[in-house]
Amino acid sequence: MGLPIGYENPHFCRLKAGKGAIDLHAEREPHRVGDNWFLHFEVADLDAVVRGLKARGVSVGAIRAEDFGRVCSLQDPEGNEIGLEESPRKRR
């Protein structure tokens, strides 16, 4: 795709995309090899995004703190997991 790599390890790759990024995970469970995929979006205000999704009837998992920021996930209508992340540097 011609996007520069911002970070990578054997399970994860972050591609720089203008002011945003595209995160690619090799597996749904961290550090467990599988044949599935995981879509992940970085957001500036995770609380606001979750409130907006819930207001539209979307079931969203609990927000949890990780070393790299705050995260939560939801499923699309086909059951595929979608992750949301708020980096510490993006928090207000």
48-85 pLDDT, tens digit per residue, is: 999 999 999 999 999 999 888 899 999 887 787 889 99
Least confident of 16-20, 49-53, 84-88: 16-20
CATH of the domain at 10: 3.10.180.10
Is the pLDDT confidence value at 92 over 50?
A: no
What was the pLDDT predicted at 31? 47
What was the pLDDT predicted at 61? 95
Domain that holds residue 15: 5-90
Domain count for the chain: 1
pTM beyond 0.75: no
Q: Which of 29, 6, 3, 30 is nearest to 87 (CA)?
A: 6
What distance, in Å, lies between the first and last C-alpha atoms of the chain?
32
- Joined together, the tokens standing for residue 41 give 């979006």
